[in-house]
Amino acid sequence: MKVFEWRMAGWYWLLLGIFITLCGCSKAAVSSGELGGRRAGDGSVSLALIGYNYTNRHINTFTVDGQGGGNLYVSSPTSGGGGSVCCVPYWRGLKDYKVIVRWQHGACYYPIRSRTSGEVFDELHFFYKEVEVTVDDLSPNIPSNFEVHFYPDGSVKAAVTEFMSMPRLSLRKDRRDSTRYPRCPNDQKPSE
* Residue 155 confidence (pLDDT): 95
CA nearest neighbour of 106 among 61, 47, 51:
61
Q: Is the pLDDT of residue 115 over 60?
A: yes
Displacement of CA 13 from its chain's centroid (Å): 30
- pLDDT at position 17 over 60: no
- pLDDT at residue 44, rounded to an integer: 82
- Measured CA to CA, the distance from residue 138 to residue 109 in angstroms comes to 41
**Closest by CA position to 63, among listed 125, 108, 130:** 130
End-to-end CA distance of the chain: 62
Residue scoring higher pLDDT (16 or 170): 170
Cα 188 to Cα 109: distance, rounded to the nearest angstrom: 9
Q: Where are the beta strands (DSSP E) in 28-80?
A: 45-53, 62-64, 67-68
pLDDT of res. 192: 66
Computed over every residue of the chain, the mean pLDDT equals: 79
pLDDT at 95: 82
pTM: 0.73
How far is C-alpha 40 from the chain's CA centre? 22
**pLDDT above 60 (res 147):** yes
Question: In whole angstroms, what separates CA 42 from the centre of its chain?
Answer: 25
> What number is the average pLDDT over the span 62-90?
88
Nearest to 78 by CA among 144, 169, 147, 7: 169
pLDDT in tens, 80-91: 888 888 889 888
pLDDT digits (tens, 9 = 90+) for 19-55: 333 333 333 333 333 334 444 456 788 999 999 999 9
Burial of 135 (0-12, 13-18, 19+ CB in 10 A): buried
Interatomic CA distance for residues 97 and 130, integer angstroms: 17
Q: Average of pLDDT values for 7-13?
A: 42
CA–CA dist 71, 85 (Å, integer):
10
Please count the residues of the chain. 192
pLDDT given at position 13: 41
Tell me which of 75-84, 107-116, 174-183 is least confident: 75-84
Q: Which whole number is the average pLDDT over 98-111? A: 94
> Can you give the C-alpha Rg of the chain in angstroms?
21
Query: Could you tell me which residues are beta bridge partners of residue 156?
Result: 150
